[in-house]
Structure 1
Amino acid sequence: MHGLYLPRRLEELPAIDVATPMGVRQPRRRGIYGHLLSLGPDDVVHIAGVPVTSLQRTLLDIAAKLSIDELVAVGDQIVCAHHRSFGRQTWPKVQLDVLKLYITRHSGARGMSRLKAAMELVRVGADSPRETMLRLIIARSALPNFEHNVEIRDAAGRGMVGPDLGCEEYKTCIEYDGKHHFTSEQQMKDHDRDFVTKSLGWHQVLINNDDFRSGELVVVTKIARMLKLGGWPDPQNLAGSSLEGRLTTRRDFG
């Protein structure tokens, strides 16, 4: 009901979880998993007239069922915000410091060690689970740091492009090409974005689902090669990994 990014194994469960406060009889009927919860005044909100656990409480309750990476993706979604000098402004569902404070107040909950580890990796600015995954892959590698909410600016200091992830030190940015990038309207916007990015001296890496399916090596190598163009020394020669047979290419020998 909150629209959280959940793995398919949870979205396709045959029953729903229904909780009642302590002291009220636990619900028991077909298609329902009943729970008794000790709920505070801020733990319940109403969506379309239906009382549901708040975002903070929901994250707490599902922590034991998700991996650390999955929890980071949900946490990123909850705190996502954009306040660039151009374009649409986005406000967080819950501010990051508020979410962290709530979690520290419930240290005895199931899955808490996993949730605390995930919260150390949550960042503001990721618009999708794939963007979160990209950042986590980078963090696990020897690549330099990339951040959300980076602005690529022109000579006058005006923000022109807001990439998914950016490394200002080496003028390298990353864009995730998801399904919505395949529409003709979005492709025209992407063409203009790519042109402006290159014109301003930045090196752009496009990552798609095929890259994710091919493995982290492909993602890291593609990013490393663009970073080298920006002057990154690449001490571990990450850009030198072979991508032969890992990329979908076409050659015309006519």
Structure 2
Amino acid sequence: MELGAADVLEVAGVPVTTVQRTFLDLAQLLSLDELVAVGDQIVCEHRRSFGPPKVAMVELDELNAYLAGHQSARSIRRLREAMGLVRVGSDSPPETRLRLLIVRAGLPLFVPNCELLDDEGNALVAPDLSCEEYRTCVEYDGDHHFTPEQHGKDHDRDFITASLGWRQVLVNREDMRFGGRAAVTKVARMLVQAGWPDPKNIAGTSLLGLLGTRKDVA
């Protein structure tokens, strides 16, 4: 394997491949959606007006420039497709998967971690995914949301979101089963309440007991 200066760095005195090079090498091993999830984590950054900032491992433009210089690499076509789906702001692989489900279902555009503002222009919350057109947002509640401390913070988040006039959909791991049917339908039904015309009647999809009873349905 030939490695250039931009491919290697030292960590605690040990030579390792850079984040960019590692991402390039992973293209031979991972599926498209897995690559998108990794790409999202690499470029994720937050420069919000509240909370601590988060710095990207590699900024999106820099990662794209690096990959553009390796057009003869194996699986570069899959990488280009993945980079077309990578977005700045997704904090976790489940959030990435949820965003991809929403895109592929044909729902309106949702943006990761967009700040919601009050009437004075103050940013109060930043949901995982937000659709400005229909003032609808989605939060993915992973396992860490079930600690008492986080539960209290989430109650505050939900109250603030509602007070700003936004509709909120809460999605969890169970909603993501069976191809994410419950998650997509939940979001679609909330969008319809907000005025989305739903031309394909996604909100009318039968959940076959997926809500409430959580029966195992193939």
Give the shorter-chain TM-score range.
Answer: over 0.9
Residues 94 and 140 of structure 2 are in contact (CA less than 8 Å); yes or no, is this contact kept in structure 1? yes
Establish whether residue 120 from structure 1 lines up as the match of residue 120 from structure 2. Answer: no
Q: Which ranges in structure 2 are unaligned for 5 or more consecutive residues?
A: none
Establish whether residue 239 from structure 1 lines up as the match of residue 203 from structure 2. Answer: yes
- Superposition map of 1:20-169 within 5 A: 37-169=1-133
Residues 175 and 181 of structure 2 are in contact (CA less than 8 Å); yes or no, is this contact kept in structure 1? no
Aligned to 1:193: 157
Determine helix, strand or coil for the equivalent of 1:65.
coil
Q: Write out the 4+ residue segments of structure 1 that deviate beyond 4 Å after TM superposition.
A: none
Determine helix, strand or coil for the equivalent of 2:149.
helix
Determine helix, strand or coil for the equivalent of 2:138.
strand
Deviation at 1:72, TM superposition (A): 0.4
Deviation at 1:195, TM superposition (A): 0.7
Distance 2:166 2:195 in 1: 11
The CA deviation string for residues 46-77 of structure 1, in whole angstroms up to 9 with x for no partner, is 22221100000001111111111000001000
TM-score, scaled to structure 2: 0.95
Deviation at 1:170, TM superposition (A): 0.4
Deviation at 1:249, TM superposition (A): 4.2
Match 2:147 to one of 151, 172, 183: 183
Distance 1:160 1:231 in 2: 24
More relative contact order, 1 or 2 (CA 8 Å, 6+ apart): 2
* Letter matched to residue 225 of structure 1: R
Pair member with larger Rg: 1
The CA deviation string for residues 199-231 of structure 1, in whole angstroms up to 9 with x for no partner, is 111011111110111332211110011111222
The CA deviation string for residues 62-96 of structure 1, in whole angstroms up to 9 with x for no partner, is 11111110000010000001112211211111111
Residues 221 and 239 of structure 1 are in contact (CA less than 8 Å); yes or no, is this contact kept in structure 2? yes
Distance 2:146 2:12 in 1: 33
Match 1:214 to one of 178, 181, 188: 178
Distance 2:208 2:69 in 1: 51
* Letter matched to residue 146 of structure 1: F
Distance 1:48 1:183 in 2: 35
Residues 110 and 130 of structure 2 are in contact (CA less than 8 Å); yes or no, is this contact kept in structure 1? yes
Deviation at 1:118, TM superposition (A): 0.4
Residues 88 and 112 of structure 2 are in contact (CA less than 8 Å); yes or no, is this contact kept in structure 1? yes
What percent identity do the matched residue pairs reach?
A: 60
Distance 2:32 2:179 in 1: 19
CA RMSD of aligned residues (A): 1.3
Determine helix, strand or coil for the equivalent of 2:49.
coil
Distance 2:191 2:165 in 1: 12
Distance 1:166 1:249 in 2: 28
TM-score, scaled to structure 1: 0.81
Deviation at 1:180, TM superposition (A): 0.5
Determine helix, strand or coil for the equivalent of 1:133.
helix
Residue 249 and residue 192 in structure 1: after superposition, are their counterparts in 2 closer, same or farther (change >3 A)? farther
Determine helix, strand or coil for the equivalent of 1:81.
coil
Determine helix, strand or coil for the equivalent of 2:199.
coil
Residues 149 and 164 of structure 1 are in contact (CA less than 8 Å); yes or no, is this contact kept in structure 2? yes
Residues 152 and 162 of structure 1 are in contact (CA less than 8 Å); yes or no, is this contact kept in structure 2? yes
Determine helix, strand or coil for the equivalent of 1:232.
coil
How many residues are paired up? Answer: 214
